[in-house]
Amino acid sequence: DQQVKQNSPSLSVQEGRISILNCDYTNSMFDYFLWYKKYPAEGPTFLISISSIKDKNEDGRFTVFLNKSAKHLSLHIVPSQPGDSAVYFCAASESGAGSYQLTFGKGTKLSVIP
């Protein structure tokens, strides 16, 4: 059973517009969420994170929103740039005994069209 779901395998966006990547989770014990970006033939790189005590976190062009009641988070990229074209993974962790594991979604491939 998938605990972290990214239901859109791919997304195409025009350069300069907003990219919105979505992620849903089922495990109510998750209390920390991360987004990773991955280019081909490279390892994932950390992008931005959010704790469950917050509903928004910003870092430059990247903003993550968390809706705990809906068990949903989203990553907004504004404005989108061609260099943002990559696979984006949503990941989640929980405190306590499970805190040493990250559970990943399947990823969404973002293509930013110049």
Partner 1 sequence: NAGVTQTPKFQVLKTGQSMTLQCAQDMNHEYMSWYRQDPGMGLRLIHYSVGAGITDQGEVPNGYNVSRSTTEDFPLRLLSAAPSQTSVYFCASSYDGTAKGYGYTFGSGTRLTVV
**Under the rule (CB under 8 A), what is the footprint of partner 1?**
4, 9, 32, 34, 36, 41-46, 49, 51, 89, 91, 93, 99-102, 104-107
We find the least distance from the C-beta atom of residue 16 to partner 1, in angstroms, to be 28
Structure-block tokens of residue 33: 């969420």
Beta bridge partners of 19: 77
Look at residues 102, 88, 98 and name the one whose alpha carbon lies nearest to residue 6: 88
Residue that has been written with the tokens 């990247």 in this structure? 62
Residue with Cβ nearer partner 1 (55 or 59): 59
Euclidean distance between CA atoms 70 and 93, whole angstroms: 17
Residue with Cβ nearer partner 1 (22 or 49): 49
Residue with Cβ nearer partner 1 (77 or 92): 92
We find the least distance from the C-beta atom of residue 99 to partner 1, in angstroms, to be 5
Structure-block tokens of residue 76: 């907004």
